[in-house]
């Protein structure tokens, strides 16, 4: 049986930087407050003409080049995003056209910040079933477009960026070992973007009421995120016969430094074996894990055959984890 192996990885972040000091001029907040409660110091902001598929394109080019795979040889493009260029066609189809990947079947995943793990899990199944040889998995977000810049509880948290991996069918014992996905829609109202769908289609009223921006009950989301990420990290390790001491690198969703610390403690992974870049980018939702994986690889934190644990939590609520033999 062929294994789903990450053969190439890429990332791209916009050039624009918005610091906590910059935010002090926009809303009633402070650098100290943001850093203490979240760990975020700055975030990237896309240019006016940049879309999610534009950011994804740059990350995908790097991933394909590293994998030695041509776009025309992709079987699937799976695009995780909460901020597609438009509702349809899918961001995956738009990216397919930009890449020239004419033979790839394309679709988007809407699982919030867990989107990359969800997409990774689907790609794993396609490879294991023999249905695909090369799959491009992308997480890309332009969250700055759906942030209410007058809401200090949310606007300080999010940033823009993209990450991509090529997953190929290969022999050997490297690759995705296991993925685990969970959801609980009963908490959907705690983190949502109400406007723009069939419930609240765009109108003067939805715009006036700011329904096209992220709405979040931060304290409740925080509590649920900590418990869910702790539990699923422990569960996937136990299911596959590993302990925290076996993990060479923990790559968590970069939402809040306190959440990351809680997960570390629960599964006994020290800070020096956890990749953290939230201070530079904030919460980039579905893009955060692939951006972190790319940086970890570039900086020499990832070596061949390392055991990597990825874990995420997002709107839905959704959460998930993945174990990878690098």
Q: Where are the beta strands (DSSP E) in 110-174?
A: 134-142, 160-170
Active site members = 113, 253, 283
Instruction: Report pLDDT digits (tens) over 264-279.
Output: 999 999 889 999 999 9
Give the span between the Cα atoms of 288 and 306, in whole angstroms. 20
Quick check: 152 pLDDT over 90? yes
Return the CATH fold of 3-172.
Answer: Peroxisomal Thiolase; Chain A, domain 1 (3.40.47)
pLDDT band with cut points at 50, 70 and 90 for residue 90: very high
pLDDT band with cut points at 50, 70 and 90 for residue 319: very high
Instruction: Report pLDDT digits (tens) over 159-208.
Output: 999 999 999 999 999 999 999 999 999 999 999 999 999 999 999 999 99
Compute how many other C-beta atoms are within 10 angstroms of the C-beta atom of residue 132.
21
pLDDT band with cut points at 50, 70 and 90 for residue 129: very high
In contact, 31 and 39? CB cutoff 8 Å: no
In the chain, the percentage of residues whose pLDDT exceeds 70 is: 100
pLDDT band with cut points at 50, 70 and 90 for residue 1: confident
CA nearest to 118, candidates 256, 269, 264, 318: 318
Topology alike, domains 3-172 and 177-325: yes
Residue 22: predicted pLDDT? 98
CATH 3.40.309.10 fits 177-325, yes or no: no
Residue extents of the structural domains in the chain? 3-172, 177-325
pLDDT band with cut points at 50, 70 and 90 for residue 256: very high
Q: Would you give the distance in Å from CA 296 to the centre of its chain?
A: 15
Report strand pairing: 160-170 vs 3-12. antiparallel
Please report, for residues 3, 146, 153, 165, 281, the alpha-carbon distance to residue 132 in angstroms, rounded to integers and kept in the order given: 11, 35, 43, 15, 33
Give the span between the Cα atoms of 150 and 214, in whole angstroms. 12
Average pLDDT of span 50-69: 98
Residue 112: predicted pLDDT? 98
79 SS3 class = strand
Residue 7: predicted pLDDT? 98
Q: Where does 198-287 have alpha helices with state H?
A: 204-208, 218-239, 257-267, 278-281
pLDDT band with cut points at 50, 70 and 90 for residue 252: very high
């Amino acid at each position: 049986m062929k294994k789903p192996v990450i053969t190439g990885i890429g990332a791209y972040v916009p050039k624009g930087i918005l610091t906590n000091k910059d935010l002090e001029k926009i809303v009633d907040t402070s650098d100290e407050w943001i850093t203490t409660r979240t760990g975020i110091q700055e975030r990237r902001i896309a240019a006016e003409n940049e879309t999610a598929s534009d950011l994804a394109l740059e990350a995908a080019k790097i991933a394909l080049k590293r994998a030695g795979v041509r776009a025309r040889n992709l079987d699937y493009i799976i695009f995780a995003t909460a901020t597609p260029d438009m509702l349809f066609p899918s961001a995956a189809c738009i990216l397919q056209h930009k890449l020239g990947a004419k033979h790839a079947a394309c679709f988007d995943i809407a699982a919030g910040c867990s989107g990359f793990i969800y997409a990774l899990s689907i790609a794993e199944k396609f490879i294991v079933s023999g249905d695909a040889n090369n799959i491009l998995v992308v997480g890309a977000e332009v969250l700055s477009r759906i942030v209410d810049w007058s809401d200090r509880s949310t606007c300080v948290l999010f940033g823009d960026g993209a990450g991509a991996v090529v997953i190929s069918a290969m022999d050997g014992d490297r690759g995705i070992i296991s993925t685990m996905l969970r959801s609980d829609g009963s908490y959907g109202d705690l983190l949502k973007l109400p406007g723009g769908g069939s419930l609240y289609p765009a109108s003067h009223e939805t715009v006036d009421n700011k329904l096209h921006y992220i709405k979040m009950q931060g304290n409740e989301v925080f509590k649920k995120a900590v418990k869910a990420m702790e539990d699923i990290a422990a569960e996937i390790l136990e299911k596959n016969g590993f302990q925290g001491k076996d993990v060479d690198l923990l790559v968590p969703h970069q939402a809040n430094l306190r959440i990351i610390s809680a997960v570390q403690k629960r599964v006994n992974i020290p800070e020096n074996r956890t990749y953290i870049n939230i201070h530079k980018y904030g919460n980039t939702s579905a893009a955060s894990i692939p951006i972190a994986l790319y940086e970890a690889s570039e900086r020499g934190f990832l070596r061949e055959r390392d055991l990597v644990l990825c874990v995420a939590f997002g709107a839905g609520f959704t959460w998930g984890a993945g174990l990878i033999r690098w």
